[in-house]
Structure 1
């Protein structure tokens, strides 16, 4: 089976960046009353801010979503409404499952007397990753018109309105009171930039080192200029800071996304060579099949592990202590293997926990391949018969890698 595994690898990197980023910047401090309070090491250790440029990978996240949705739409032979319903179902079913299981867990935690502070933190961290639903739903529903617009006017002209909206929002953030709220259109506009780049790349454009280098160069130069203008260094929000680059996403977040996409496309040939090896290819494939569950469950895993170990009453360094020095960061890194192991168990349990379907799938198994899924096709010359479970997961697969299903010239 052959697929565009370079984009697969980018998606895996994006998901891993989000997970590691959240686990490293989310400190849960054990109070005297047994409750957990949220804190961030970025407050006490501002020197760590540049690390967020590597771990804040939402730009690649939306780039891969735009790529996958465009390829799937090009391959689909039925009506666009049926295609959209299928894509959204694959996104919403795992989310509904998370909310249902999370509600049951919160109820059980309340019954056994978990402190209110811990419940509040658990609810906030479990729900906060769901913010991406709004911009992603809007962009997936707009994939067809976006593809037409890119073909008619070019990606540069399509990006200008989105960047302009973010620029106006940045100005408003500095002029409005601290509690002024901006409309959700700001979030949609910011993340539509990498999504449009994904649409463009899936349509056969942005190929070659010249285009990739141009994107990387523009993104890096924009980052440097924005930092010189006084934008915060951290790519994520810092508690207590007046301005955040992520809530709402600023021009710096957009510039970082463009730079990441450009660098990723430059790395594409190396990724393709790496993924000719069976071990990396299989690891990337497994991670992609579970991308949605990994994203949805990584924060509940952090809270659960921290809360359960806190019941012993002994603060564990890096897990229950204040994130106020480099020692906390080192101790938290030591906890990462345990958190990852628990997350793997949770993901596998959810994968096989749904009603049985022929081929070993199940509702949870089929819903895992959401709008972030990568185009997949079969090539018997390269790897022989495909795995049955993967066939089920990609029934509405996309056009051959780097190919065109609509007859348009490359």
Structure 2
């Protein structure tokens, strides 16, 4: 009798939750403007989730006898390099950012100062909470006797992705100039800078010019994206891919599109010509996917999922490494060293083990997102 009552209660609970989800989907669909470009939102969600999954798959925290240290399976398993091609989606994010910023600028009803301040506040307000929390956490860990090297590893894991926001903010602020700029111009700058630093022995700091120029290419492309024909998109996709193959196979650029610890050269720090041509290929394929994605987003359930991801996009980006760290540290304290979570990523088995931890990372990230949203009000 008790089991029957429990089963009936669970069934009612499931029906209530299903009803709530259906009602939420209906409200989101009803609140969406008919002229909204849903494919752009879908691409932004894909780009954010690509970055998050990529970090979770190629970042390991190794707990051994010494300080906690970071490592990457790409150091030990070169066969995993294609993972970096799939999940390095920053170019798509800058592409969408350029398109949205240019559209917003064209529709503005305020001064440049007010427009820029409004957009930049959206970027940096959530960052303050991350900085505050990790200042407290870092201080607590040091006071509790953690090794400085351990604290440095954890803090840098969280803060190092923030470079992206600084570049994105600078390009957003420069939107009135970007809309007049052809993407070929920053592409040429990247090529010249690489020639100077790689072939002609220029000082290393010269390469950091590409931090702005490299990401300006997809951002400027986004500003004119809607005017591109399907043929131009195919040319961009195929040409970018072919140029990347040439640069990797015959010009000595690394095959990995993310940084690999211990490697002598990185395609991302600063962005190399290969990273930029790879990004151009991504932008071309993203443009070709725009119409199919737009049709898919007409399905209310899919659209609702994209809306939720975009609603939490900045929070997801800012806190995803914290979710991984929190899971690893709490599990270490509660259980001890666990495979795929605390061990060195030096075998294919580690990859399989890490895949098993991803749902828990996602659950912890969901809890953090909800808490962060409540704190910000």
**TM-score normalised per structure 2:** 0.87
Deviation at 1:228, TM superposition (A): 2.2
Aligned to 1:228: 249
Q: CA deviation at 1:250?
A: 0.6
For residues 319-350 of structure 1, the C-alpha deviation after alignment (integer angstroms, 9 at most, x for no partner) is 10000011001100100000011111111111
RMSD: 1.8
- Alpha-carbon offset, residue 5 of structure 1: 1.0
SS at match of 1:238: coil
Which residue in 2 is equivalent to 1:105?
137
Q: Which residue of 1 aligns with 2:19?
A: none
- The aligned residue for residue 5 of structure 1 is 38
> In the alignment, which residue of structure 1 is the partner of 2:9?
none
Q: Give the 3-state SS of the residue equivalent to 2:205 in structure 1.
A: coil
User: Do the aligned partners of 1:36 and 1:307 also contact (CA within 8 Å) in 2?
Assistant: no
Q: What SS does the aligned partner of 2:69 have?
A: strand
Separation (CA, whole Å) in 2 of partners of 1:52 and 1:334:
19
Task: Confirm or deny that 1:96 pairs with 2:167.
Answer: no
Residue ranges of structure 2 left out of the alignment (5+ in a row): 1-31
| Equivalent residue number for residue 105 of structure 2 | 73
Q: 1:162 aligns with which of 171, 174, 186?
A: 186
Kindly indicate whether residue 347 of structure 2 is the aligned counterpart of residue 325 of structure 1: yes
Q: Is 1:26 the equivalent of 2:47? A: no
CA distance, structure 2, for counterparts of residue 69 and residue 100 of structure 1: 29
C-alpha separation between the residues in 2 aligned to 1:92 and 1:192? 20
Alignment correspondent of 1:192: 216
Deviations, residues 245-280 of structure 1 (Å, cap 9, x unaligned): 111111111111111111111111111111111111
Match of 2:165 in 1: 133
CA contact (8 A) 1:42 1:48 kept: yes
How many Å apart are 1:183 and its aligned residue? 5.6
- Structure 1 residue 311 displacement after superposition: 2.3
Check whether the contact 2:244–2:278 (CA below 8 A) recurs between aligned residues: yes
What is the CA–CA distance in structure 1 between the aligned matches of 2:201 and 2:143, rounded to whole Å? 41
Does residue 213 (structure 1) correspond to residue 271 (structure 2)? The answer is no
Q: How many residues align?
A: 343
Q: Specify every segment of 5 or more residues in structure 1 that has no aligned partner in the other structure, as ranges.
A: 151-157, 355-361, 363-410
In the TM superposition, what is the alpha-carbon distance from 1:300 to its structure 2 partner?
A: 1.7
Larger gyration radius, structure 1 or structure 2: 2
Asked if the contact 1:118–1:307 (Cα under 8 Å) also holds between the matched residues in 2, the reply is no
> How far apart are the structure 2 equivalents of 1:73 and 1:191?
19
Identify the range of structure 1 (17-26 vs 117-126) with the bigger mean alpha-carbon deviation.
Answer: 117-126
TM-score, normalised to structure 1's length?
0.80
Aligned to 1:174: 198
Q: Counting helix residues as a fraction of each chain, which structure ranks higher?
A: 2
Q: Judging changes above 3 Å, is the alpha-carbon distance between structure 1 residues 289 and 178 closer, same or farther for their aligned structure 2 residues?
A: same
